[in-house]
Amino acid sequence: MATLDDISVTALKGVGASLAGTLSKLGICSVQDLLFHLPHRYQDRTRIVPLINLRVGDHCVVEGEVTDSNVVMGRRRSLQVSLRDGDGFVSLRFFHFNAAQKQQMSEGTRLRCFGEVRRGRAGLELYHPEYKVVSGDELNPVEEMLTPVYPLTEGVQQNRIRSLCQQALSWLDRYEIRDWIPDSVRLRYQFPSINDAIRYLHHPPVDANQLLLLEGVHPYQQRLVFEELLAHHFSLLRLRQAVQSHKALPLTGGEALHQALLESLPFSLTGAQQCVVDEIKADVQKPIPMLRLVQGDVGSGKTIVAALAALQAVDNHCQIALMAPTEILAEQHWINFQQWFAPLGISMAWLSGKTKGKQREEALARIASGDASVVIGTHALFQQEVQFHQLALAIIDEQHRFGVHQRLALKDKGEQSGFVPHQLIMTATPIPRTLAMSAYADLDTSVIDELPPGRQAIETVVLSDVRRMDVIERVRKACIEGRQAYWVCTLVEESEVLQCQAAEVTAGALTDQLPELKVGLVHGRMKAKEKSAVMEAFKEGHLDLLVATTVIEVGVDVPNASLIIIENPERLGLAQLHQLRGRVGRGDTASFCVLMYHPPLSQNGKARLKVMRESNNGFVIAEKDLEIRGPGEVLGTRQTGLMQFRLAELERDKQWLPEIKALAPALLNDNKLVDALITRWLGDNVQYGAV
């Protein structure tokens, strides 16, 4: 028997090739896809809201008598109709109208309208509401149930989708949607059947609990939310399986090198660092690829952990690739690793997008021959032409700028030698627990939850840029006392050019205003050589003040710098601010961060800067960031491919995540079930399809 996922939407009345094409942009090809195209909201047209109770943002039905009707000439000509219902008033505003409509809505007419309440020129307004003329005394019924609102794409109207979904529902009388959730699970959570849930959500009955539906927490919705989250979780576990179905070189030994490096350091590892080092050691000894994410707050000392992991591979005569998302960060690693590894006689190679000509050829040759054991660079290391000799370990810093794609590209790099490299991913942007559980289900995670001893909390102050002169004085004082400072310029525009120009202007002004200080400048458009010369000068203490764009966000490590000024912090995400702030507080002097905003500050902006002032803990800040901005933003756009949910909302639905995590491994072997759920919820274009 045919099933609903075999039946094309063209089987529906009124769907021809062109509409089918448009629908396919929404991922809708079969009748079943249409049934899973669920309302993302509902409109409540079941009751008339008294005008006095209207709030901005509400979508609602109102009814009242026209008290006035005027054509207003503003920037755009519009028809403004005033409506009264006893105690309350509202204005209806129409930009497109004809004489008949104007006539129809004359004084004394009773209107029933549906629309969104906005704040307009004349107080609360409904823009272009749907309306009809009603007579006062008859009981015109409003809708009996909630009206579904579907996600749309260009070229399909809401009403069209509504009627198509209604048609699709009628097919449910003849065909069933396969329910993949095992009975035992359904019973445990008292889930309704999938068919009932689908019917209900497209067409909520009269007595439906509207409050729950509007919030997305109705049992029928939660039944599907659970299934969607499960499908996403499966897709990540599949990714993990795909990588781990390959062999990796087991990396053993390494003790002597570890000891030599540790003895050369001026400090000993913290307990948290030691734990993570041990976890990595246990992973890489296995013949299956490690997939481990190390989270550690800014300054928690991830670099040395990476170096120790690298030594383990060196001891097995294999190659290591260390990748960073920016040139400047990669250079910092290069400097650190050289300092640590050169005395141990380990050969290294550098490769970035800017490595050109002879240098590039030489680097490529040394990588291909295996002459270079440790290869450090940017994502240039992913390029086709880079051939490794025996890549056994890939270390990726700041993973959330790298996507799943790159994780897979890496797998291919290693395959050239028949093994897949172990992967160690390090991030300084703590990922809230809920996100980590859903977005990184394919990774094991370690947390460095302790800072090296002696660190002092950074004191953060929030100031208006009206106080710029005071701030400059503060910089002067700190630098005269022998400390160093950063001055970070940000701009709204994404344009790197403009950002760099702004930094140049600021550096010029500060050089004039602070003649007794040595001021340096670093930005993204400088040549790699120039950049590292400036960074080096700052690190060596030859510069007092470093003016920079957000390129210094990650990885820069100058313990003597104890003051950072961040301009326009209200434009940055909290995680990014936390990263920037982490450039100071790396030594044992008390450190300060000045967040210098440009007034006026929005409510939201105030709230965010307050979080920065009150917390120095990356995890707390990340949780707040998630609350304020949502998961897509927090993870960065490139990472969101797998994070687009249809129904689920991580914050609201997070209680399911531990349940799903516990349940999924047992179901993962049922390939049919897993395939079906992934296709149902994520469609065919799952990123690792080619694995």
Residues that bind ligand ADP (CB under 6 A): 267, 269-270, 273, 296, 298-304, 428, 452, 557, 559, 586
The secondary structure of residue 96, as a DSSP letter, is S
What SS3 state is found at 533?
Answer: helix
Handedness of CA 510, 512, 515, 520 (dihedral sign): positive
Length of the chain: 691
Q: End-to-end CA distance of the chain, in Å?
A: 32
Closest to Mg ion by CB, 432 or 555: 555
**Least distance between ligand ADP and beta carbon 267 (Å):** 3
Q: Which residue, 143 or 449, has its beta carbon nearer to ligand ADP? A: 449
In the complex, least distance from residue 448 CB atom to ligand ADP, rounded to whole angstroms:
7
Q: What is the DSSP string of 121-174?
A: TTEEEEES-EEEE--SSS-----SSPEEE----TT--HHHHHHHHHHHHHHTTT
Q: Give CA–CA dist 184/666, Å, rounded.
A: 12
Residue 496 vs 557, nearer CB to ligand ADP: 557
Does the CA dihedral 445-619-572-465 come out positive or negative?
negative
> Nearest-CB residue to Mg ion?
555
Order of strands across the sheet that contains 391-397: 348-351, 374-377, 319-323, 391-397, 422-427, 291-296, 444-448
Q: State both tokens at 590.
A: 């008390």
Query: Of Mg ion, ligand ADP, none, which one sits near residue 270, judging by CB under 5 to 8 A according to partner kind?
Result: ligand ADP
Min separation Cβ 423 and ligand ADP, Å: 18
586 interface partner picked from Mg ion, ligand ADP, none, CB below 5 to 8 A per type? ligand ADP
Nearer to ligand ADP, 204 or 296 (CB): 296
Specify whether the backbone of 44 is left (phi greater than 0), alpha (psi in -120 to 50) or beta.
beta
Residue nearest to ligand ADP (CB): 301
| Burial classification of residue 544, based on how many CB atoms lie within 10 Å of its CB (0-12 exposed, 13-18 middle, 19 or more buried) | buried
296 touches which of ligand ADP, Mg ion, none (CB within 5 to 8 A by kind)?
A: ligand ADP
Task: Please state the closest distance from residue 471 (CB atom) to ligand ADP, in A.
Answer: 26
Decide whether 414 or 555 has the Cβ nearer to Mg ion. 555
Amino acid at the residue 28: I
Nearer to Mg ion among residue 555 and residue 618 (C-beta): 555
Distance separating alpha carbons of residues 238 and 261, to the nearest angstrom: 38
Size of the site for Mg ion (CB under 5 A): 1
Nearest distance in Å: CB 397, ligand ADP: 8
**How buried is residue 598: exposed, middle or buried, by Cβ count under 10 Å (0-12/13-18/19+)?**
middle
Q: Give whichever of 204 and 555 is closer to Mg ion, judged by the CB atom.
A: 555
Q: Which residue's CB is nearer to ligand ADP, number 277 or number 678?
A: 277
State in angstroms the smallest separation of the CB of 450 from Mg ion: 16
- Residues of this chain, 530-559, that bind Mg ion according to CB under 5 A: 555
Nearer to ligand ADP, 296 or 569 (CB): 296
Smallest distance from ligand ADP to CB 594, Å: 21
Cβ proximity to ligand ADP: between 370 and 559 the closer is 559
202 binds, among ligand ADP, Mg ion, none (CB under 5 to 8 A by kind): none
Q: Which is nearer to ligand ADP, 304 or 612 (CB)?
A: 304
Closest distance between Mg ion and the C-beta of residue 331, in Å?
A: 12
CB 353 within 8 A of CB 385: no
Residues whose CB falls within 8 Å of the CB of residue 271, separated by 6 or more in sequence, listed in order: 450
In contact, 545 and 519? CB cutoff 8 Å: yes
Min dist. Cβ of residue 323 to ligand ADP (A): 14
One-letter amino acid at 583 equals: R
Complex with ligand ADP: residue 298 or 535, whichever CB lies closer: 298
> In angstroms, what is the minimal distance from the CB of 367 to ligand ADP?
25
Identify what 124 binds: Mg ion, ligand ADP, none; CB under 5 to 8 Å per kind.
Answer: none
The Cα–Cα gap between 323 and 397 comes to 6
**Rg of the Cα trace of the chain?**
30
630 binds, among Mg ion, ligand ADP, none (CB under 5 to 8 A by kind): none
Cβ contact 77:71 at 8 Å: yes
Least CB distance to Mg ion at residue 554 (A): 6
- Closest to 79 measured CA to CA, from 59, 54, 98, 61: 98
Closest distance between ligand ADP and the C-beta of residue 352, in Å?
19
> Which of ligand ADP, Mg ion, none does residue 452 bind to, with CB < 5 to 8 Å depending on kind?
ligand ADP
Binds 609: which of ligand ADP, Mg ion, none (CB < 5-8 Å by kind)? none
Q: State both tokens at 418.
A: 């028949």
Q: Tell the smallest beta-carbon distance from residue 520 to Mg ion (Å).
A: 21
The closest of 118, 74, 120, 71 to 97, measured between CA atoms, is: 71
Give phi and psi for 484, each to the nearest 5.
-125, 160
Farthest CA pair distance, the chain: 94
CB of residue 277 to ligand ADP, shortest distance in Å: 11
The one of Mg ion, ligand ADP, none whose footprint includes residue 325, by CB under 5 to 8 A per kind, is none
Q: Tell whether the torsion through CA atoms of 21, 25, 28 and 30 is positive or negative.
A: positive
H helices then E strands: how many in the chain?
A: 25, 21
Residue 300's binding partner out of ligand ADP, Mg ion, none, with CB under 5 to 8 Å set by partner kind: ligand ADP
Neighbours of 669 (CB within 10 A): 8
Minimum CB distance to Mg ion smaller for 421 or for 555 = 555
Tell me which of Mg ion, ligand ADP, none is bound by residue 273, counting a contact when its beta carbon lies within the kind-specific cut-off of 5 to 8 angstroms: ligand ADP
Judged by beta carbon distances under 5 to 8 A according to partner kind, the member of ligand ADP, Mg ion, none in contact with residue 304 is ligand ADP
- Select from ligand ADP, Mg ion, none the partner in contact with residue 267, using the beta carbon and a kind-dependent cut-off of 5 to 8 Å: ligand ADP
Q: Give the residue with the Cβ less far from Mg ion, 165 or 330.
A: 330
Two tokens, residue 583? 């450039």
580 interface partner picked from Mg ion, ligand ADP, none, CB below 5 to 8 A per type: none
List residues near Mg ion by CB under 5 A: 555
